[in-house]
Amino acid sequence: MFGLTFDKLLIVAVIAAFVIGPERLPAYAAKLGQLVRSLRDFANGAKDRMRDEMGPEFDEVDWKKLDPRQYDPRRIIREALLEDTAGEPPGAIKPVTQSAYAQRRMPLTAGAVPPYDTEST
């Protein structure tokens, strides 16, 4: 995750043991154990509260699908583009539309009202 391997963690632990010293090391180890225990209890409490609030739907949720590490913008765009053409048969000819630039450059017919945007004026 942060490039921390077991070797680096072991080196940090050894340096911390030398800095803290043998007198205070047991007290700090006990505090670390309490911190880990309280974090685990907090996470379990949050999960239990979610289960209570969501009811039976909690077990039906696909949590792996909601994992932000699964986010792939290329896949999302590909699925969105394929979703638009799902109802059309393959090889269907789409109607030709003018580009927005061509529509802006087209002169107005006689008596036509030009577009007016009340929010921009």
pLDDT tens per residue, range 11-51: 988 998 889 888 898 898 899 999 999 999 999 999 889 88
Which tokens sit at 48?
């239990």
- What is the pTM for the complete model shown? 0.43
Give residue-wise pLDDT tens across range 56-107: 888 888 878 777 777 788 888 888 787 655 566 656 666 667 777 777 788 8
For CA atoms 66, 71, 72, 78, the dihedral sign is positive
Distance separating alpha carbons of residues 37 and 29, to the nearest angstrom: 12
What is the secondary structure of 41-83 as a DSSP string? HHHHHHHHHHHHHHGGGGGGS-TTTT-GGG--HHHHHHHHHHH
Q: What confidence score (pLDDT) does residue 90 get?
A: 59
